[in-house]
Structure 1
């Protein structure tokens, strides 16, 4: 979002203002709408040659504001190049121009003789240079404001009244000013004027605005901070201050931790203009409710901020952000507690009913829940996940299992129990009432059952953690599970679910993804990449499809597997994209290797790109790959003809004694750079003295085989040529 430097306040007497009042937009869309509106206004001003110092955007769901600061009263005179037909279609121009040339010139109020030839990336074109005079800014602002509003795009929009719209929500007013004058235009049934509306807690009488300075004064008098970023910072600081004040007063314990979820903070920021922080405490009777349930009610259902007491202790304190700063604190606080108490009483009711039926007794009921027609039930999915889980477990090296401080036998026992019970909580009343708690409820009920029968062991806790974490990561911001059973169960559940969806014909298409497979797929590749699991996407796809055990699948597995792999590769590209550059994926990803290798190579390349050695290795790797013909033959040292060829072979043979590790770390990649760096002059001497594509077919094949060995060793760095443009950009910026 564009916000002027707060250290140098703009001269608002030279500013233009656009404020759009509307019925409340979804809070999650406010930031994007404001950014888009500011970008469109900026583009319109730049297209017309207007001079300005900056653009500010801010507001809330019912008030969108864009302010143009330092706007000069006239645009700059400028030259515009209008491209016409290509020279190839110009006929005998200029003496005998083609109809296309004459038509273009006529449309531009010019003659064919006024045109000139211009070189473009697409070739040579006839063009016209037009001198555009300066214009009063007041004349261009109506079109810019109206055009920006008309160009906003929404997934869903509305019409209202007698065909007014479309817009995301019905418009209530438009305030548009430049200096002291109204910028007049009409949009969606509203005519711009001088009127604005105060915040709801200040009444409903409209306010007549004289100019931008007056508007700024009114907003400050209301106590409103229009900037989303500054309002967010204020709310965050006030939440922390309110908790500290409660601790200082002795009404709250002094060991609380305030959970400032960034997404919740963003949402609350977009819900209020002015506000008051309300601290509140839950009645003691809810101390037995599981902490995840209380957090969900407070955070997800009511958008409150939780003051946490720590693991294993009940949640009793929270902070709300009221959009009415004038309301009486005790009244608002009592209302908050009553709303939360009603939801927690519902939770207590369902818990009392659910515990009467063990999780294991609920498992058969999953067979009656349809997963995908023609594919199977949720019960079928659970059994398929268990089959895949043990297929994957058999592929794990002992070293990986040891790094997670467990044994293969314990891991198998944990996975066996978790794979049977992990979906059983779907049939509980608590999950039906609080679907956000899937998994967490399973953990709570499982541990409660174990505790009822005896002492909870470390293996029991591992099973409970796997049940609770099999949905992780739920979003891109969430971390992947840390323990191996949770990693494996989450991976296999996703793989089987997505394989079943593809068998059922639910492949995402365009903007349609009703089963959120893209989000789930991104979580799957993150688990493979960040969890360092040695599985290729093709192997996982084949195993996941076979795990369903369908004798007559809706789609042939031979067709579904490549489609599933391509879908996961798309998720990999999304994961690997950095700063909008997808070249990182092309550089780091080698064909059908475990994603964790590509992920670690990506981390290495992001540093190696900036090193002095990048250019030399990229040049050599690109040269070798261009010469290789793709012939499959083995190298025969007996056919070596020149010393430079022998030197390269001996250097490569010596490197075979120190193969690149199968599970490399960042340090391993840089060690390989140091190991291969002495090879660079040997390679240069080889290319200077040796003709690879020798006329003798046997010699040519042998030298091609030697280069193939060299290319294989260099391939641990990925496709360096894909990063050349990024390397140049880094050097230019450096």
Structure 2
């Protein structure tokens, strides 16, 4: 069977840079999936994407669909024939629709009955006949929230389409996609090759475009940018401030990347580096540089989409563009410093946090109160935590943060330092936003951790307190992120704070504002529910998490210790047998009517196996108690793992439901004590 390379390219106006990578991956996956669904065989599939094109190259693609046999089931036999064995109208209609007689039909026999069956041999269609429709279907699958129309046609896509190429080997596949007929014409670089180029063989796609000043492969173009900016940075004696998202965005903006460096006046370095970095990255897509100590350098690297004969003119142009933006940041900084951070707190009364929960000033005052109490529990400087809590949102009223919202917190830190706030306050102001996203750093100071916990608790308790519980994907106050951040701080910083205590402190700070009378239990349930996502992201098995959740430890650090202990126990040779035994014990005890004795009467232990189990349990309990006293759950489970053989022997040799009621109750008490030994740590009966 003939096999060759297929190239499908959609040439467009400039595509949205932040969406390009996702669009390319979706187009590649969709087209490959549709070809597979339609019985085409192929090898490797490669996606290409640049500012003006989406393309897919399919290697070793068959020229024709595989032939197949389609089974069409007809009516059941008791419906297909009457009492005399003659075909009914239902059977004849079905047969006629398939172009056969009832007599030619086969029979399908299953354990559920017997039916008429027709097996039709379907000849595979040529690729040229089905590809245009498959391309249209693939494009409809792309994540395009707001498609646009252009010209007088009715076609809709994310950007106007100028060219469509469907080339199989050297054969152009005719067809119409998004109102554009397929041709072998490809768009070249907008400036270096505006006339475009033509493609005679699908396998030459990359080379043909490179001659038209386009690097079509996203990954190759990205690597070229990474290497170019690293080389330039080294020449300038600095390092690029790493930002993978920015590299991806710039890669999507250009088709022929050329890296250049430029300078700015070092007087701007008197401004904190964060807003300077934001304006260079977000406004201009520049790559700022810093030295090995992390100090910003008065230089930046940018990527241009043209191989200029006079690059100095481009450099001067970019330096001219960035200067007023840096001057704005300088002006905002100097203006903001004229007013102290503390004097801005009253202004927060004009910023609404939530209409039922008050202003941002109200929130700041609550954070200060809660942070102070948390700091006392942690043995940290309560005054520092309270002051940082009061000031932590004050920079929201500064011109700098209004212009550069990404700098909130960090500018509060700089302004607090300028105001000579007490040691630890500036850092805690910045740290109270941490962690901002998955994998982000945590507060370094204990006071910062206290303020961060207070802020997250205020949001969680407040929003739950007015009944706005997250449902489905809706989470406008990012409560799930706050919850995970709170757990991360408590666990990773090894803080011995109980969730119940923290929720009580936060709830009390609202002084009657909350309408939900179940707010404390609701928030606790929400936080306990976050443990599952928190540990699944770390690769912990779901049944391990469930085993610990069954015991509901509300001290996150304690929860963490139990989870890791049970996860380690799960790999022990004795784990499966003990988990099964605990499950069996749970089932037995669940059926007991009446009370189970608290103590085991050794005089009633008549069988050797139950006597041995009782003695082994005493020894294991003593050892486990010592381990549990040190919160060493792993050691405790290791000690209890020694019970495997005595437990197995017990179930093999002893009848729990003895006829004698006293003996039966005594054995139930023994099993209950066995179960309680493990429940001190987790419910291992739920382990798979």
Name the TM-score, length of structure 1 as normaliser: 0.81
Could you tell me which residue of structure 2 aligns to residue 264 of structure 1? 246
Contact 1:282–1:316 at 8 Å: present in 2 too? Answer: yes
Could you tell me which residue of structure 1 aligns to residue 599 of structure 2? 636
Could you tell me which residue of structure 2 aligns to residue 433 of structure 1? 403
Map 1:282-681 → 2, pairs under 5 A: 282-311=264-293, 313-326=295-308, 328-393=310-375, 396=377, 401=378, 408=379, 410-450=380-420, 460-504=422-466, 506-535=468-497, 540-551=502-513, 553=514, 555-558=515-518, 560-565=519-524, 567-568=526-527, 571-578=530-537, 583=542, 586-587=545-546, 589-591=548-550, 592-593=552-553, 594-600=555-561, 612=573, 614-629=575-590, 633=596, 635-638=598-601, 640-657=605-622, 658-659=624-625, 668=632, 670-681=634-645
SS in 1 for 2:261: strand
| Structure 1 residue 584, shift from structure 2 partner | 6.1
Q: Could you list the runs of 5+ residues in structure 1 that have no partner in the other structure?
A: 1-11, 247-251, 402-407, 452-459, 725-734
Could you tell me which residue of structure 2 aligns to residue 728 of structure 1? none
> Which of 1 and 2 has greater Rg?
2
Contact 2:264–2:323 at 8 Å: present in 1 too? Answer: yes
Contact 2:547–2:686 at 8 Å: present in 1 too? Answer: no
Query: 1:464-518, CA deviations, whole angstroms, 9 ceiling, x for partnerless residues?
Result: 2111121122221322223322222222212212333344555444444444444
CA distance in structure 2 between the aligned counterparts of 1:327 and 1:663, rounded to whole angstroms: 76
CA spacing shift, 1:424–1:634, aligned 2, 3 Å: farther
CA distance in structure 2 between the aligned counterparts of 1:541 and 1:109, rounded to whole angstroms: 73
Could you tell me which residue of structure 1 aligns to residue 108 of structure 2? 116
Contact 1:380–1:548 at 8 Å: present in 2 too? Answer: no
CA distance in structure 2 between the aligned counterparts of 1:219 and 1:199, rounded to whole angstroms: 9
Could you tell me which residue of structure 1 aligns to residue 129 of structure 2? 139
Map 1:7-26 → 2, pairs under 5 A: 14-26=4-16
CA distance in structure 1 between the aligned counterparts of 2:505 and 2:291, rounded to whole angstroms: 44
CA RMSD of aligned residues (A): 3.7
| Structure 1 residue 43, shift from structure 2 partner | 1.6
In the comparison of the two structures, how many residue pairs are matched?
673
CA spacing shift, 1:374–1:192, aligned 2, 3 Å: same
| Structure 1 residue 92, shift from structure 2 partner | 2.4
Query: 1:72-118, CA deviations, whole angstroms, 9 ceiling, x for partnerless residues?
Result: 22232334566889xxxx57266469999988877766788535245
Contact 1:288–1:314 at 8 Å: present in 2 too? Answer: no
Could you tell me which residue of structure 2 aligns to residue 27 of structure 1? 17
Q: Could you list the runs of 5+ residues in structure 2 that have no partner in the other structure?
A: none
Contact 2:548–2:681 at 8 Å: present in 1 too? Answer: no
Name the TM-score, length of structure 2 as normaliser: 0.86
Could you tell me which residue of structure 2 aligns to residue 686 of structure 1? 650
Contact 1:588–1:598 at 8 Å: present in 2 too? Answer: no
Query: 1:146-166, CA deviations, whole angstroms, 9 ceiling, x for partnerless residues?
Result: 211122243443344457344
Contact 1:17–1:176 at 8 Å: present in 2 too? Answer: yes
Could you tell me which residue of structure 1 aligns to residue 160 of structure 2? 170
CA spacing shift, 1:719–1:28, aligned 2, 3 Å: farther
CA spacing shift, 1:135–1:605, aligned 2, 3 Å: farther
SS in 2 for 1:307: strand
Contact 1:78–1:131 at 8 Å: present in 2 too? Answer: yes
| Structure 1 residue 16, shift from structure 2 partner | 0.7
2:268 maps to 1:274: no
CA distance in structure 2 between the aligned counterparts of 1:63 and 1:57, rounded to whole angstroms: 11
